[in-house]
Structure formats: structure tokens, C-alpha cells
Amino acid sequence: MTVRTAAELAAVDDPAWPTLSRMLGRAGVEVVPPPAWALDVLYRLQVTARSTLGALALHTGGVVVDGGWLRLLGGGGAGLPDLASVNGLGDPSAASVAPPVLVVGYDVLGGTFAVNGGGLPGPLGDVHWFAPDALDWVDLGFGQAAFLEWAVSGGTAALYERLRWPGWYDEAGRLRLDEGLSVYPPLWSEEGRDVARASRTVVPLAELVDWHYEMAARMAPVDDV
């Protein structure tokens, strides 16, 4: 790949941010201020500010939707990781390749949103959701720009219809952005289907996300030898 400087990536004629900033001005959406290191995040991502991903990295620390239920990543801050670090991206080189799965957000239950870079089934660029009630990736059927608009315009209501309970908004809003809710019995179990009756415990979000991946690996079918 051709490595571009942070200045080259940021200085584009048609940046995405003016359009995105209007979209993010809707009620119920909180924009975390961009960190001092935002340009470094953009540099490690090697995307321009013309893209949704680049604009979020450069101009936000992240985006919080539905009172904290959904956390979309940007430059990092307020408990949110930055887009480059969470995807293991260091300083780029000519040998660098794009991640096969690019994480772009999380939900309060430990679900993960990621852009398909070739590591998931389906079209490249589609956003997928690692569903905590299925322990598998679900293709949402649209790219990152459409995903952001979907997220801030009420699209989550249908996705999480079965996974929300009376009072979920206030409960999510009491958490720090690096915290999530561990549900027991687990959402993927038969006993955990009634989430309103399940117990919920505040845990570090990173640990909750890793636990879902670990359980998915344990429960994956083993090929016959």
C-alpha cells in the first residue's frame, strides 16, 4: 500500500464531516469530543476524511446513541477505544493490509459491529453485527455511511426488539462507556430468552465482548475427522 501522511488524509476537498455533523445533531445522539491524538488515529487507519470512518476518527472521540446502548468508535476518549487501536493497527508501512474484520462499534450487551474486509461472508464493506443472543455474525446489508444514519435515526429499535426490557434506556445511561451489561442466564440460552426476567451485572465491556467470542468458539461445531 502507498502510505499517506496524516495531513494528506485530512486535507480533502470534499470532507464527510459537514454532512455527518448535521446528522449527528439529532436528539438522543451524543458526540464525544475528538482527542488530541485524532490525527494519529487517522494516519494509522490510512483512510481519508472524505470517508465516514475517517471523519469519525478525526472529528469525534466516538458517538453514543440510545443513552449509551450503542457506542460507535472514533478517535477514542471518555472510555471508548479508538478505531486504530481496537483493530490492532500500528504505524502503516508498504506491507500493511486492511483488517479482514474492522470493528467500528459495540452495544451495551457486548455485541460488536464491524465492517467486512473479506473476513466475513457477504459483500465487502457491509457492516455486520456479532449478535450476543446468537453468538454469530449477522450481515446488516449496508455499508458504514448507511449504518451511521441507521443507528442515529431509530434503526436499533427493530434490531434489539427482543433484547430490551422496561427501563433499558435509563439502565444503559448509568454505565460508563467502557462498561457493559452481562446477562444471566445468557441471551443465547433457552433460559435467557426472557431478558426482562434475567439478572444483569455491570462488567468491563472489553471482557464481555471477549467472553462472547470465547463462548462462540467453544460452541462451534467440530468437523468430523
Whose cell is 470512518? That residue is 53
Contact 101, 117 (CB under 8 A): yes
Residue 92, helix vs strand vs coil: coil
Global pTM value: 0.96
DSSP string covering 100-141? SEEEEEEETTS-EEEEESSSSSSSTT-EEEEETTTTEEEE-S
At residue 223, the pLDDT reads 59
pLDDT at 193: 87
Instruction: Outline where 11-82 has alpha helix (H).
Output: 17-23, 38-45, 52-59
> What is the reported pLDDT for 183?
97
Secondary structure element (H or E) that encloses residue 70, with its range = strand 70-73
Helices (H) and strands (E) in the chain, counts: 9, 9
Q: How far apart are CA 134 and CA 153, in angstroms?
A: 25
Sign of CA dihedral 54, 113, 73, 149: positive
d(CA 99, CA 115): 9
Report the pLDDT value the prediction gives residue 222, as an integer from 0 to 100. 60
- Helix (H) or strand (E) holding 217, with range, is helix 205-219
Sheet holding 127-131, edge to edge: 29-32, 62-65, 70-73, 101-107, 112-116, 127-131, 136-139
Listed as ranges, residues in the chain with pLDDT below 50 are 224-225
Give the per-residue pLDDT at 219: 87
Q: Are 75 and 60 in contact (CB under 8 A)?
A: yes
Specify whether the CB–CB gap between 148 and 137 falls below 8 A.
Answer: no
